[in-house]
């Protein structure tokens, strides 16, 4: 199995970090999910990874580099399903259904051995760097496009304080007679927006003994209720404040700007989360330690499946996070990642010659070892939390 598998699994950790840091768009309030939900998050991850590799392939082809194999999934040719050959590339589906790779020998990537370095055409540094950057850039750009689509269709999610009806008088009351029901959200009174019980009480006192229309939100449906408060401004109901996520659709130009701002914010929060996870950045007091610790693929699957079951916006948001995470973590200066290739090219530019093949291969093996340790650490944290939940 090629080392390129290690380039994709860290997106699980990215999802965990960013899910913990984000508060407004946090997709999941409970773990779980059935088989269709897990299949959906797996499919989404595979699409993100395939798009990443397609970007590498496309730019490499434009630069004139060889791309002998493009594989969705991993596994030897013997156990892979070959789709065919197109543009001098063998397209196949590997037996291990996670990850993928494109072989680019001229990048001296992990798909070739020490002896195969000799005789390869040497491409300009800028072209090799462009190919290395193509995958992460494609993930960030596609994440932005996905977020723009979510904001354009569903609207921008914001947290708002709402006043919810949680009790009605047992005896016939003004509220009951007007059709108000428990769990109705109070939107406005007489055209005045109401966000909390104190504001509701203040507005109702203006209409003592006078008719007024209360606009309710009942499961997403606007319902009017005509009431005449008593001499104290009461109608026989009690409300409590709650914080809810509300979607607001904006003009397309504003939506585009908001999507870009959120993408930019997420970009920096990813690195902030990395810093917190490794204690390089101070953790805010509002965050629990479990919110920023390194988590693994089990947690990603649980979060993604629960997001899918809680709605398509949450599912799309989880794919946005995974795409951003995959793109940005691949820029880390670790041999075997795209960022590691860029470090090699930087060293080559400074030294005037490439790093010797044996040293490069050794660095890639060390980088692979670090990534394995990194992922095992996240996996162990996943198991720890599962055990803690089981024992209560």
- Assess whether 15 and 132 both reside in one domain: yes
- Assess whether 287 and 191 both reside in one domain: no
- Of 248, 280, 315, the last residue of a domain is 248
Tokens standing for residue 238 = 């009690």
Please check the confidence at residue 53 and state whether its pLDDT lies above 80: yes
- Assess whether 7 and 23 both reside in one domain: yes
Residue-level pLDDT at 392: 65
Chain center to CA of 23 = 13
What pTM, to 2 d.p., does this model score?
0.81
How many percent of the chain have pLDDT more than 70?
86
Give the pLDDT confidence of 270-282 residue by residue, as tens digits.
Answer: 778 777 777 777 7
Please check the confidence at residue 138 and state whether its pLDDT lies above 70: yes
- Of 248, 279, 300, the last residue of a domain is 248
Residue-level pLDDT at 346: 93
Residue-level pLDDT at 23: 36
- Assess whether 231 and 261 both reside in one domain: no
Please tell me the total count of domains within the chain. 2
Residue-level pLDDT at 17: 46
- Assess whether 97 and 220 both reside in one domain: no
- Assess whether 61 and 24 both reside in one domain: yes
Best-predicted range by mean pLDDT (54-58, 168-172, 369-373):
54-58
Residue-level pLDDT at 273: 76
Higher pLDDT, 144 or 110: 144
- Of 248, 280, 311, the last residue of a domain is 248
Closest C-alpha to 265, from 276, 253, 273, 254:
273
Give the pLDDT confidence of 164-173 residue by residue, as tens digits.
Answer: 999 998 778 8
- Assess whether 125 and 268 both reside in one domain: yes
Residue-level pLDDT at 180: 94
| Largest CA-CA distance found in the chain, in angstroms, rounded | 94
Kindly report the CATH number assigned to the domain that includes residue 166. 2.30.42.10
Q: For residue 188, what are the domain limits?
A: 156-248
Instruction: Give me the phi and psi of 373, to 5 degrees please.
Output: -60, -40
Residue-level pLDDT at 128: 94
- Assess whether 127 and 188 both reside in one domain: no
Closest C-alpha to 300, from 5, 41, 35, 33:
41
Q: How far is residue 302 from each of residues 36, 219, 285, measured CA to CA in Å?
A: 12, 27, 26
- Average confidence (pLDDT) over 200-221: 91
- Assess whether 162 and 237 both reside in one domain: yes
Give the pLDDT confidence of 231-262 residue by residue, as tens digits.
Answer: 888 999 999 998 888 898 999 999 999 999 99
Tokens standing for residue 188 = 């406005």
- Assess whether 141 and 280 both reside in one domain: yes
Q: What does the H/E/C string look like for the chain? A: CCHHHHHCCCHHHHHHHHHHHCCCCCCCCCCCCCHHHHHHHHHHHHHHHHHHHHHHHHHHHHHCCCCCEEEEEECCHHHCEEEEEECCEEEEECCEEEEEEECCHHHCCCCCCHHHHCCCCCCCHHHHHHHHHHHHHHHHHHHHHHHHHHHHHCCEEEEEEEEEEEEECCCCCHHHHCCCCCCCEEEEECCEECCCHHHHHHHHHHHCCCCEEEEEEECCEEEEEEECCCCCCCCCEEEEEEEEEEEECCCHHHHHHHHHHHHHHHHHHHHHHHHHHCCCCCCCCCCCHHHHCCCCHHHHHHHHHHHHHCCHHHHHHHHHHHHHHHHHHCCCCCECEHHHHHHHHHHHHHHCCCCCHHHHHHHHHHHHHHHHHHHHHHHHHHHHHHHHHHHC
Work out whether the CA dihedral 327, 328, 329, 331 comes out positive or negative: positive
């Amino acid at each position: 199995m090629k080392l390129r598998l290690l380039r994709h699994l860290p997106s699980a950790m990215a999802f965990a970090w960013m899910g913990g840091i984000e508060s407004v768009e946090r997709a999941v309030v409970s773990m779980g999910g059935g088989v269709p939900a897990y299949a959906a998050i797996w499919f989404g991850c595979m699409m993100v990874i395939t798009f990443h590799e397609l970007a590498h392939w496309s730019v490499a082809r434009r630069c004139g580099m060889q791309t002998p194999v493009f594989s969705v999934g991993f596994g030897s040719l013997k156990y892979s399903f070959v789709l065919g050959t197109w543009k001098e590339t063998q397209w196949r589906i590997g037996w291990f259904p996670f990850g993928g790779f494109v072989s680019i020998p001229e990048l001296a990537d992990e798909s070739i051995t020490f002896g195969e370095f000799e005789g390869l055409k040497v491409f300009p540094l800028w072209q090799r760097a462009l190919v290395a950057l193509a995958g992460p850039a494609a993930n960030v750009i596609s994440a932005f496009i996905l977020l723009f689509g979510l904001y354009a269709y569903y609207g921008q999610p914001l947290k708002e304080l709402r006043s919810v009806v949680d009790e009605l008088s047992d005896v016939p009351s003004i509220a009951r007679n007007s059709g108000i029901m428990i769990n109705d959200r109070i939107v406005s009174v007489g055209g005045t927006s109401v966000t909390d019980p104190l504001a509701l009480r203040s507005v109702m006192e203006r209409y003592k003994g006078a008719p007024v229309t209360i606009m309710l939100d009942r499961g997403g449906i606007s319902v009017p209720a005509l009431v005449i408060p008593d001499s104290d401004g009461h109608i026989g109901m009690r409300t409590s404040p709650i914080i809810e996520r509300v979607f607001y659709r904006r003009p397309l130009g504003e939506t585009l700007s908001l999507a870009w701002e959120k993408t930019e914010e997420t970009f920096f929060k990813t690195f902030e989360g990395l810093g917190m996870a490794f204690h390089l950045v101070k953790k805010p007091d509002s965050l629990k330690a479990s919110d920023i610790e390194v988590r693994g693929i089990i947690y990603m699957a649980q979060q993604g499946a629960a997001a899918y079951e809680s709605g398509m916006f949450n599912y799309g948001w989880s794919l946005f996070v995974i795409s951003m995470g995959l793109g940005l973590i691949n820029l880390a200066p670790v041999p075997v990642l795209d960022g590691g290739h860029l470090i090699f090219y930087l060293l080559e530019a400074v030294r005037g010659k490439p790093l010797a093949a044996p040293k490069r291969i050794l660095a890639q093996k060390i980088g692979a070892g670090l990534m394995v340790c990194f992922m095992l650490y996240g996996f162990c944290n996943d198991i720890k939390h599962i055990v803690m939940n089981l024992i209560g």
